[in-house]
A = this chain, B = another copy of it.
Amino acid sequence: MKLVVAIVRPEKVNDVLEALYKAEVRGLTISRVQGHGGETDEVQTYRGTTVKMELHEKVRFEIGVSDSFVAPTVRAIMSAARTGEVGDGKIFVLPVEKVYRIRTGEEDTAAVTPVA
């Protein structure tokens, strides 16, 4: 079992969701985050105060998958989220020791396979 954590642009979320859907990845969790990377800082002004926004809006995907699904998941995200410009984000693959489905108590691969 692995946990795939991906940081992507907010405007790419729908594309990524669609790509994951096609890749038959059904379970995922997302959250709004802010990131800093190589993006050019954007300048804002409030009355006389000028500020550099170092952080950019991003969306974080967290997807628990069985080992065989890691590659397709990464591939789906990679192609759907890419614009080629700085700021496209990162994907991290983390090892997972155990997964449980709260509803049934099922474990590991069974826990992430959708029931028909």
Return chain B residues, CB-CB under 8 Å to A78.
100, 102, 105
- A 52-94 binary contact with B (CB < 8 Å = 1; else 0): 0011001010101000000000100110011111111111111
How many copies make up the complex?
3
Q: Which bucket holds chain A's interface residue count?
A: 35 or more
When the two chains form their complex, are residues A85 and B97 in contact, meaning their CB atoms are under 8 A apart? no
When the two chains form their complex, are residues B2 and A29 in contact, meaning their CB atoms are under 8 A apart? no
Q: Which residues of A contact B (CB under 8 A)?
A: 1-3, 5-8, 17, 26-38, 54-55, 58, 60, 62, 64, 74, 77-78, 81-103, 105, 111-112, 114-115
Given A7-B29, A31-B34, A82-B102; 19 other pairs, CB 8 A cutoff: A2-B97, A17-B54, A26-B37, A27-B38, A28-B35, A29-B34, A30-B34, A31-B31, A64-B92, A77-B102, A81-B102, A88-B103, A89-B103, A90-B111, A90-B112, A91-B99, A91-B102, A92-B96, A93-B99
